[in-house]
């Protein structure tokens, strides 16, 4: 885990990067907003001149000249407003292009550390939230707020009493904004967590649709979702009520202030302290002075959402900004060393595997056996780098896995998990691991090594067949064999398979045995977790994992003979008899 100093350094680096990226645009938008707000005084000046000059003189040319000038200034204001709006939209798109891939990369990693799918996907939604906010009215209010003193000064110059009245209204609206912030802050976080919980239930129900349908408890699953959804709706309603109530008060206050300015202006005019034109000008300017505050209150819910999303995006950048990528290393070719590793579940911190150590050389194959929940899959996750050991290390040719970049390490490892997990893409894209260039020779070689080439070419679209979401267009056995081809793609040095024959028929198991022999023949290393004995025919080493510890390791015949009858389930004994035969 990083030290606090390292984290602070990373945060400063991210802050500097964001400053370089957006400071110039922010200053430009601030300047554009200044021009827009200066031009927004056109209406006040126009009213002032119309009532005090054109009407007083009765001059039509003066009226026409003032009107033409006002129209021109309004057009310029509209032009700058369009420019500001379009720049903000493009800033949002730029932010999306830059941060969406990073956020998605973090979202892919988060489930490894115990986060739910819904929590992981929130990182991508954060980018959408910030981009949508930049295209809304919220940023307009933020950029206009610093220019409110310009309108207050204008009204004050017309008459100090009018300036004091407008300032008082601005202060009250500001206090409403602060109250909105204080009341919404706690609810905003709770609403976000409730949304994540609701989405997690929805995701779980969707992924288990077949089970819900087959065993008839879809109704109870929907009821469970309804409970989570109601909790989210209650919190969201409370948040919206706060913003809506304070927004209504602010609008009423603006209208009240506008009338108060007109009334006070009329009184001052009667007393001979103000001209008739100044009454209208003060009313227009006072309304414009309070508009950004009113707009901010009305959009405060979006402001809070965008602020929270931006904070999480900043945290995402900090998480991804740890140092330089590792120096490229030669491809591993000789040994795998597991040095007394201890592995804990990321979500709970509970230790699942303790003090496991062994070494394999190129050309060897290891079978891992043991009772369910003994730690076999945990060991696999540590060997592939999915979970990092809390103690000890996993090394290829003496170098820890962390010394390779993930992309480089992936070229040297093939992995077939229990749940194959094909992507919603074509067969060739799945086998090639989404290779940017279509290398038909390597794809076909991997498919033949897995014994699945003949099956693939029988499909109407061959290697271009779409497998569907989670490989739903294929049978379980077909998915497993294509997953095996993916693991073998590019002849990786280390190939790890977790229950690789759980859905295979006799032909598939024959292909699996041949694939393991091929890995050994090219001096690679194969590791197979198995309950069925046929998966261990081609291995030469066996390890026994029980209760989170490795209790035996060595040549297959010796280990199986020593553990005959001593493991649960009983099928291990059957496995020994079959392998001995």
pLDDT value at residue 321: 56
How far is 291 from 247, CA to CA, in rounded Å?
A: 12
pLDDT value at residue 214: 74
Position 330 in a domain: no
How far is 571 from 399, CA to CA, in rounded Å?
A: 37
pLDDT value at residue 14: 63
Looking up residue 222, the CATH number of its domain turns out to be 1.20.1560.10
pLDDT value at residue 456: 94
* Same domain for 432 and 400: yes
Sequence-distant (≥ 6) Cβ neighbours of residue 9 within 8 angstroms: none
Q: Which domain holds residue 556?
A: 335-580
- The structure's pTM equals 0.73
How far is 301 from 567, CA to CA, in rounded Å?
A: 59
* Same domain for 302 and 385: no
Position 2 in a domain: no
Q: Domain ends where: 269, 296, 320?
A: 320
* Same domain for 371 and 472: yes
Q: Domain ends where: 272, 295, 320?
A: 320
* Same domain for 60 and 196: yes
Q: Domain ends where: 320, 351, 367?
A: 320
Q: Which residues of 509-531 are buried (b: 16+ CB within 10 A; e: fewer)?
A: bebbbebbebbbeeebbbbbbbb
Cβ proximity of 325 and 405 under 8 Å: yes
* Same domain for 453 and 347: yes
Position 124 in a domain: yes
Position 1 in a domain: no
* Same domain for 235 and 382: no
Element (H, E) at 338: strand 335-344
pLDDT value at residue 573: 34
How far is 467 from 343, CA to CA, in rounded Å?
A: 34
Number of folded domains in the chain? 2
Position 164 in a domain: yes
Three-state DSSP state, 337: strand
Sequence-distant (≥ 6) Cβ neighbours of residue 5 within 8 angstroms: none
Three-state DSSP state, 523: coil
Looking up residue 377, the CATH number of its domain turns out to be 3.40.50.300
Asked if the peptide bond before residue 174 counts as cis, ω within 30 degrees of 0, the response is no
Pairing mode, if any, of strands 541-546 and 365-369?
A: parallel
Three-state DSSP state, 341: strand
* Same domain for 401 and 307: no
pLDDT tens for each residue of the chain, 581 residues long? 344 555 556 556 666 666 676 778 888 899 999 999 999 999 888 988 888 888 878 889 888 999 999 999 999 999 999 999 999 998 888 888 888 888 888 888 777 777 777 777 777 788 888 888 888 888 888 889 889 999 999 999 999 999 999 999 888 888 887 887 778 777 877 887 888 888 888 888 887 777 787 778 888 889 988 998 999 899 888 888 887 888 788 888 888 888 898 899 999 988 888 888 888 888 888 888 888 888 887 777 788 888 888 888 877 777 665 556 778 888 899 999 999 999 998 877 889 999 999 999 999 999 999 888 889 999 999 999 889 899 999 999 999 998 988 888 889 999 999 888 888 899 999 999 988 888 899 999 999 999 999 999 999 999 999 998 877 788 888 899 999 999 999 999 999 999 888 878 788 888 889 999 999 999 999 999 987 777 788 999 999 999 999 999 999 888 888 776 554 433 333 333 333 32
């Amino acid at each position: 885990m990083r030290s606090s100093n390292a984290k602070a350094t990373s945060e400063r680096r991210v802050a500097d990067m964001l400053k370089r990226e957006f400071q110039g645009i922010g200053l430009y938008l601030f300047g554009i907003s200044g021009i827009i707000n200066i031009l927004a005084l056109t209406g006040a000046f126009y009213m002032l001149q119309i009532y005090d000059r054109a009407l007083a003189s009765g001059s039509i040319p003066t009226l026409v000249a003032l009107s033409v000038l006002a129209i021109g200034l309004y057009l310029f204001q509209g032009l700058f407003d369009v420019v500001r709006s379009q720049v903000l939209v493009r800033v949002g798109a730029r932010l999306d292009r830059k941060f969406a891939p990073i956020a998605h990369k973090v979202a892919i990693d988060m489930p490894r550390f115990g986060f739910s799918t819904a929590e992981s996907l929130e990182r991508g939604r954060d980018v959408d939230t910030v981009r949508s906010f930049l295209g809304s009215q919220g940023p307009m209010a933020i950029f206009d707020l610093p220019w409110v003193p310009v309108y207050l000064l204008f009204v004050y110059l017309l008459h100090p009493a009018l300036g004091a009245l407008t300032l008082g209204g601005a202060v009250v609206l500001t206090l409403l904004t602060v109250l909105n912030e204080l009341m919404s802050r706690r609810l905003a976080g709770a609403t976000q967590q409730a949304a994540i919980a609701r989405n997690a239930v929805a995701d779980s129900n969707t992924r288990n649709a077949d089970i819900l349908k087959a065993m008839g408890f879809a109704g109870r699953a929907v009821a469970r979702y309804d409970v989570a959804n109601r909790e989210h709706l209650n919190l969201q309603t409370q948040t919206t009520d706060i913003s809506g109530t304070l927004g209504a008060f602010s609008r009423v206050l603006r209208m009240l202030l506008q009338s108060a300015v007109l009334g006070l202006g009329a009184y001052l005019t009667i007393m001979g302290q103000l001209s008739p034109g100044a009454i209208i000008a003060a009313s227009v300017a006072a309304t414009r002075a309070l508009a950004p505050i009113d707009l901010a209150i009305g959009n405060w819910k979006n402001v809070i959402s965008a602020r929270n999303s931006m904070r999480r995006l900043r945290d995402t950048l900090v998480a991804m900004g740890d140092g330089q990528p590792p120096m490229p290393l030669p491809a591993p070719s000789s040994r795998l060393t597991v040095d007394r590793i201890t592995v804990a579940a990321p979500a709970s911190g509970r230790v699942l595997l303790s003090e496991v150590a062994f070494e394999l050389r190129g050309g060897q194959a290891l079978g891992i056996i043991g009772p369910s929940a003994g730690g076999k899959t945990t060991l696999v996750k540590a060997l592939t780098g999915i979970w990092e050991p809390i103690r000890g290390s996993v090394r290829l040719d003496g170098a820890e896995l962390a010394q390779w970049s993930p992309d480089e390490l992936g070229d040297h490892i093939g992995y077939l998990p229990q749940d194959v997990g094909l992507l919603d893409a074509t067969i060739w894209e799945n086998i090639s691991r989404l290779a940017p260039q279509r290398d038909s020779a390597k794809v076909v070689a991997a498919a033949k090594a897995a014994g699945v080439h003949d099956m693939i070419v029988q499909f109407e679209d061959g290697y271009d067949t779409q497998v569907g979401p989670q490989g739903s267009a294929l049978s379980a056995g077909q998915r497993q064999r294509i997953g095996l081809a993916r693991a073998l793609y590019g002849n990786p040095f280390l190939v790890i398979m977790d229950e690789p024959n759980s859905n295979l028929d006799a032909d598939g198991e024959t292909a699996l045995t041949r694939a393991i022999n091929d890995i050994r023949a090219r001096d690679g290393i194969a590791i197979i977790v198995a309950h069925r004995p046929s998966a261990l025919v081609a291995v030469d080493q066996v390890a026994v994992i029980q209760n989170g510890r490795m209790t035996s390791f060595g040549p297959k015949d010796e280990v199986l003979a020593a553990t005959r009858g001593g493991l649960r389930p009983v099928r291990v004994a059957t496995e020994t008899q079959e392998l001995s035969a």
